[in-house]
Amino acid sequence: MASPFRVYENIYCIGGGSISSAGDCMVYLIDMKKNNLVLIDSGVTNFNRIVDNIKTLNFDPNNLTAHIITHCHIDHIGNSAHFKKSFNLKVYAHELDVEPIEKGGSKTGASFYGVNYEPVEIDQKFTTREGEEILHIGEYDLHILHIPGHTPGGIAPYIDIGGKRVIFAQDVHGPLFPAFGSDRKQFVKSLKRMQDLNADILCEGHFGIYDSKDKVKEYIGSYISQFSR
């Protein structure tokens, strides 16, 4: 099995694919300093492996203080209740995705994975629509951009750190299913908003890290073209 790794500065990949389990989205960890670790999504199956990966990077999982859920699909939220119960962290999500996160149901997609989803209570709900919200944690600001289209309450957190902008745009590739609340026109608009951020690094949810402005622009642009047809 592959090892967790440093993406850039205080940002690490601790889950996804061969790092934790094939069913997991890519799970990211941000060291916000002052004993504040932020978890971006949680994966769905191998909770213990993801925790071990945090330890492998010489971090104490007891310093997890915030868990940001980018959207309500099972491969991104399946372990969220386990993290909250184990480490008493605060869970954040956009209000438009809160219902399936807190109650479960078909919009989580759990049946596609053949798993039982344990709902988790959201401690703070993002309400932004056209603008963004800012979480100040430790020594840094984490910006929360609302990107509806894949799900109604999808968000793309981003951080400016070490002279670079890093965005966690988990499902740039879609897919779009109306039964799950997807909206093609909204999604194209959201992709354009993400591209306008001019990020230096994109941490995607399933297809890896894009580590230059040109690569980020090209990757997001390819899906703008695809979903604009």
pLDDT at residue number 181: 87
pLDDT tens for residues 147-189?
999 999 999 999 999 999 999 998 899 889 888 889 999 999 9
Tell me the pLDDT tens digit for each residue of 108-156: 999 888 899 999 999 999 999 977 999 999 999 999 999 999 999 999 9
pLDDT tens-digit series, residues 60-98: 999 999 999 999 999 999 999 999 999 999 999 999 999
Q: What is the b/e burial string over 58-88, where b = at least 16 CB atoms within 10 angstroms of the residue's CB?
A: ebebebbbbbbbbbbbbbbbbbbbbbbeebe
Backbone φ and ψ of 40, nearest 5°: -100, 110
Q: Give the total number of structural domains in the chain.
A: 1
Residue 229 confidence (pLDDT): 86
Looking up residue 89, the CATH number of its domain turns out to be 3.60.15.10
**Containing domain of residue 107, as a range?**
5-228
User: 47-56 and 80-87 are packed helices; what angle lies between their axes, rounded to 10 degrees?
Assistant: 60
Over residues 53-58, the mean pLDDT reads 98
pLDDT averaged over every residue in the chain: 96
pTM above 0.75, yes or no: yes
